[in-house]
Amino acid sequence: MKIILVTGTPGTGKTFLAKELSLLLHYRYIDGIKIAKQVSEGYDKIRRTLIVDRRKFSSSILALIRAQKASKNSPNGLVIDSHMSHFLPARYADLCVVTKCSLNALKRRLEARRYPAAKVRENLDAEIFDTCLVEAEELGHKVVVADTSRKAGKSLAQQIKNQLRNQS
Ligand SMILES: Nc1ncnc2c1ncn2[C@@H]1O[C@H](COP(=O)(O)OP(=O)(O)OP(=O)(O)O)[C@@H](O)[C@H]1O
Ligand SMILES: [Mg+2]
């Protein structure tokens, strides 16, 4: 069973791309927010985000992968959508897609969600510092960057499919 992680700063297009990818590859889409809610240790009111321990999150993803593998109708692959998905140890993942977009596009998308200014700033900073990308590379993942600045969900998914094919 192939495992594709889709990580990136909030608003950079993980869900958009992960859903395209799962349709194209016929893999099962896994919503990381559901997992985060299960392992969450509360809600940070100031940062307006769930408090989630990365090790607990990663263990929970691993348990889910094992359960999917063992199930009768196990899929050919999973696409795991979360800005914490790259905390899964690299040996369990076939590919780690990091979504990125221009800072202008990100600002527009986050403001459209009516995020408070501090939360927009925090996410723009994360994108400027490439936090998810740097972490994914440091953790040893096979990383592919997907730029979602322009409307290219389907062609981006196709590119990633080709990369997976070349790899196996
Ligand atoms: N490839 C793309 N082209 C154009 N617009 C996009 C693309 N990908 C995402 N968007 C737009 O950007 C916004 C944010 O996308 P999305 O919800 O997929 O981000 P996300 O990374 O999953 O965010 P979060 O971490 O908060 O779940 C959406 O309004 C979506 O329509
Ligand atoms: Mg999302």
Residue span of the structural domain in which 71 resides? 2-167
Residue 153 CA: nearest ligand 1 atom is 1
Q: Which ligand has the nearest atom to the CA of 10?
A: 1
CATH number at residue 56: 3.40.50.300
pLDDT exceeds cutoff 80 at 100: yes
Which of 7, 9, 12, 16 is the best mutation target for the ligand 1 pocket, counting ligand atoms within 8 Å of the beta carbon and taking the most?
Answer: 16
Task: Give nearest CA residue, ligand 1 atom 29.
Answer: 109
Q: For 137-155, how does the pLDDT look when each residue is reduced to its tens digit (9 = 90+)?
A: 999 999 999 999 987 777 8
Which of 5, 7, 9, 15 is the best mutation target for the ligand 1 pocket, counting ligand atoms within 8 Å of the beta carbon and taking the most?
Answer: 15
Q: For 53-96, how does the pLDDT look when each residue is reduced to its tens digit (9 = 90+)?
A: 999 999 999 999 999 999 999 999 999 999 999 999 999 999 99
Rounded CA separation 12/105 (Å): 8
Q: What is the pTM of this model?
A: 0.96
Those residues whose C-beta lies under 8 Å from the C-beta of residue 50, and which sit 6 or more positions away, are 36, 37, 40, 42, 43, 44
pLDDT tier for residue 166 given thresholds of 50, 70 and 90 = confident
**If phi over 0 gives left and psi between -120 and 50 gives alpha, with beta otherwise, what is residue 40?**
beta
Q: Which two tokens stand for residue 112?
A: 């459209």
Mean pLDDT of the chain: 95
In the chain, the number of structural domains is: 1
